[in-house]
Structure 1
Amino acid sequence: MPANVTLILGGAASGKSAFAEGLCVNSTKDRVYWATAQIFDAEMREKVSRHLAQRGAGWTTVEEPETAGRVLPGLTSGQICLMDCATMWLTNHLLAEHDLAAAESELMSAIDTCAADLVIVSNETGLGIVPENALARRFREAQGRLNIALAARADRVVQVTAGLPLVLKGSL
């Protein structure tokens, strides 16, 4: 079991990544950034650039869009790893038509055996209306199940809205 797992939930542009980065920066541990995004267009390239600038120096970045087993097993207790984000990780698997249950099982197993502290960012997608198309509904349901599984493993769960944290589990 990792030393500490923190799940940061929030809507799009809620401040969750900045809050999660702050937790890592305030740690005395070596910082690892697990980037799950894949860049397919200019808009995503710009978003990634903004995140890089916001994060600043002092991070080791690991770009791995799908496989937790390529990231988490090699980490040590002297590190803190920010997974940003579980939503992009899930999207990558969904669009590739992977077995979502198997992918989630692999992620949970990697989390359970990781020696580093983990901070996981994930979107809360269940607060809006029911999407009109089947893919969006499948995604929303899968994201909800993933968040439930992550929250069950987490020592601390924080909801970020308008940049403000609300602790749902554990303490800051």
Structure 2
Amino acid sequence: MRGKIILVGGGVRCGKSRFALELAQAMGPRRTFIATAEPFDEEMRERARRHREERADRFDTVEEPRRLCEVLEEDSADVAVVDCVTLWLSNLLLRGDAPEEILGEVERLVGVLQRRRGATILVTNEVGMGLVPESPLGRTFRDVSGGAHQRLAAAADEVYFGALGLLLRLKPGNLVVGAGG
């Protein structure tokens, strides 16, 4: 039997990561946190260190900015939290991968998720609700993110959307499930 696929998206700082961590804690004692951020400056390194320490006794942390499919294929935890999909997509785009290649990786990711025995919670940022980006790279990122989100939402058993400190379940059926504090 395959594990559940859960997609948690929304705006920046809406509570989606906290919600994903709380959800994961109820899904089994063996938990992996896969961080896709690359801390390029001291502030980001400090932020990553703090988050790692906050999760230390509850999650094994794997920091991997690009090889998400491989990490998930090797992971045998009850639940894995990926934070975040949009950072993973931007890492691939900034490496020089073409949009078609990135969406191919998303398709590969869907296949990996569908074969996993453990549950997977994917955290992502909704980037399609703002202004049209000014630069070609920004527009490409928005388009790739939108395509990825559509594929992941279609494959997911549950989809949640965070806005204004609230998380709404969009799939299956609408339900307000939590409020940020």
Per the TM superposition, whether the score is higher than 0.5 is yes
SS at match of 2:121: strand
Report the AA paired with residue 160 of structure 2.
V
Say whether 1:82 aligns with 2:81: yes
**Unaligned segments of structure 2, at least 5 residues:** none
Shift of 1:53: 4.3
Report the counterpart of residue 117 of structure 1 in structure 2.
Answer: 119
SS at match of 2:65: coil
Report the counterpart of residue 71 of structure 1 in structure 2.
Answer: 71
How does 1:45-60 map onto structure 2 within 5 Å? 45-60=45-60
Question: TM-score scaled to structure 1, two decimals?
Answer: 0.90
Distance 1:2 1:75 in 2: 14
- More deviation, 13-22/25-34: 25-34
Report the AA paired with residue 136 of structure 2.
A
Report the counterpart of residue 170 of structure 1 in structure 2.
Answer: 172
Report the AA paired with residue 126 of structure 2.
E
Q: Which of residues 120, 126, 130 is equivalent to 1:128?
A: 130
Distance 2:149 2:89 in 1: 11
Shift of 1:95: 0.2
Shift of 1:160: 1.3
Q: Give the alignment's Cα RMSD to 1 decimal.
A: 1.8
Contact 2:27 2:78 in 1 (8 A): no
Shift of 1:54: 4.2
Summarize deviations over 1:5-62 as a string: whole Å, max 9, x none.
1100011111110110110122233110011111111232233234324435221111
Contact 2:36 2:87 in 1 (8 A): yes
Question: TM-score scaled to structure 2, two decimals?
Answer: 0.86
Count of paired positions: 171
Contact 2:80 2:119 in 1 (8 A): yes
Summarize deviations over 1:65-92 as a string: whole Å, max 9, x none.
112332112233x510000110111011
SS at match of 1:71: helix
Report the counterpart of residue 93 of structure 1 in structure 2.
Answer: 92
Runs of 4+ in 1 over 6 A off after TM superposition: none
SS at match of 2:60: strand
Report the AA paired with residue 166 of structure 1.
L
SS at match of 1:160: strand
Contact 1:73 1:115 in 2 (8 A): no
Summarize deviations over 1:93-141 as a string: whole Å, max 9, x none.
0000122133223222221211110000010001111111110111011
**Unaligned segments of structure 1, at least 5 residues:** none
CA distance 1:56–1:163, change in 2 (3 Å):
farther
Q: Which of residues 125, 143, 147 is equivalent to 1:145?
A: 147
Report the counterpart of residue 5 of structure 2 in structure 1.
Answer: 5
Contact 1:82 1:120 in 2 (8 A): yes
Distance 2:136 2:62 in 1: 32
SS at match of 2:6: strand
